[in-house]
Amino acid sequence: MSFIIDILIIGLIVNIVIIAAIVIALLSFKYHLAITVISEYKYNNNQLLLSELLFYNYDLYKNIYMILSERESIDFDKFKTFIEEKTKIFLGDKEFKITNETTTLVGNESVKGREGYVYIFRPYEYGMVEKIVLVTS
Amino acid sequence: MRLYGGILVFVVIIFCGLLFMGYLLNIVFHKYLTFQELAREGEIYSISNIINVVERSLGYALFFSYRQAMKELGYKNFSQIQDLQSFTSNVSRIFSEYRKKLEEVSGIKVPNGDIKISSQDNITIEITFTSPQLITYSYKGSTYSFTIFGNPNTSISFIEENGNYTQLKSVVEEINKVLTKLVS
């Protein structure tokens, strides 16, 4: 009889230990998942910002999309200040650059950090499609 | 008492072992599940943004195709075009190259469709692109797959004067708009 009670007590203790270990593991799991989700959504904001920035109008003919797209055919330096000003509306004092993966088009060349990209159409003679990346510190 | 002392030590060892195993399992499952879930969510969100930009800028691809056709055929303005049907075929051919290039670099498929070019006064030109099919992007991975759709119907109007182009206005047509951003 005493032996059976011993077995029952041991079984009870082992069960409590197993449940405690699983609960601790699950609590820890939930905490980490929430942190990672927040981080990922911050990353994607750059792409959303870039997609809105491109359609910001300069005048009736040009928006930032067309300025970047036709930069070889226009005085691009004249428009760089405009693009920087409009980007700062979204980013504040945060450092940034807009690149085509090989050349920095606007902003601080040394900036490294979060990236968001889209594809833009370009004139036929300049390769038709180009990947444009917004990098923020 | 000695028996209970031994059992207590045994239980403590089991507890520590299970805790450690739980911790290891937590790391393994956490990394695997989180990566899988975020990869899917992130990919859908990212491609949806990219397709949105493609929808809004498809008119510019039509404009560049028109300009390239003018250059290739040696026209300086719209009034010089004698065979509009033949000219439109050239614009369609160049636009198809744009579609292929986009698919090549991004995986986004813009469907084939009809292009119409019109002008009331030979100065204000309008180009429209219509297709019964949708823009698609399909992803197939080992653990999940999805397809995102977009609206290809678009038009662009602009003023052409002495080889200069002004007042570009690109409009994403509302037809089929209800079908955009469907994720399956």
Return the structure tokens found at A124: 């036929």
Average pLDDT over residues A21-47: 63
How large a percentage of chain A has pLDDT more than 70? 84
Does the pLDDT value for residue A44 go beyond 70?
A: no
pLDDT at B69: 95
Contact A44 B46 (CB under 8 A): yes
Q: What is the pLDDT along chain B (184 residues), one digit of tens a residue?
A: 666 777 777 777 777 777 777 777 766 666 666 666 666 777 788 888 899 999 999 999 999 999 999 999 999 889 899 899 999 999 999 999 999 999 999 999 999 999 999 998 888 999 999 999 999 998 887 777 888 899 899 999 888 887 777 767 776 654 444 444 444 4
Q: What is the pLDDT of residues A56-109, one digit of tens each?
A: 888 867 889 999 999 998 888 889 999 998 888 888 888 999 999 899 999 888
Chain B residues with CB-CB distance to A6 below 8 A:
3, 7
User: Residue A17's CB: how many other CB atoms inside 10 A?
Assistant: 18
Identify whether the C-beta of residue B113 lies closer than 8 Å to the C-beta of residue B92.
Answer: no
Which residues are CB-neighbours of A55 under 8 A, at least 6 positions away?
A63, A64, A65, B56
- Position B140 scores a pLDDT of 81
Inspect the interface and report whether the beta carbons of B11 and A14 lie closer than 8 Å.
yes
Question: Which residues in chain A are closer than 8 Å to B65, comparing Cβ atoms?
Answer: 124
Contact present, B136 and B151 (Cβ < 8 Å): no
Measured between alpha carbons, how far is B88 from B156 in angstroms, rounded to an integer? 15
Residue of A nearest to B91 (CA): A124
Contacts of B106 in chain A (CB under 8 A): 119, 129
Chain A residues in contact with B23 by the CB 8 A cut-off are 25, 28
Suggest the residue from B31, B35, B49, B167 to mutate for an interface test with chain A (most A CBs closer than 10 A).
Answer: B49
Interface of B with A in 147-166 (CB under 8 A): 165-166
CB-based contact A119 B19, cutoff 8 Å: no
Q: Give the integer Cα–Cα distance in Å for A43 and B95.
A: 33
pLDDT-derived band at A28, boundaries 50, 70, 90 = low
- Predicted pLDDT at B176: 42
For chain B, how long is the longest CA-to-CA vector? 108
- The CA distance from A82 to the nearest CA of chain B, in Å, is 19
First-to-last C-alpha distance (Å) of chain B: 64
Q: For residue A9, what pLDDT is reported? A: 82
Q: Which residue has the higher pLDDT, A20 or B120?
A: B120
The CA-based dihedral angle spanning residues B4, B8, B9, B10, taken in that order and rounded to the nearest 10 degrees: 100
Helical (H) or strand (E) element with A130: strand A129-136
Minimal Cβ distance to B52: which of A21, A51, A65 = A51
- Asked if the Cβ–Cβ distance from B38 to A40 is below 8 Å, we say yes
3-class DSSP state of A125: helix
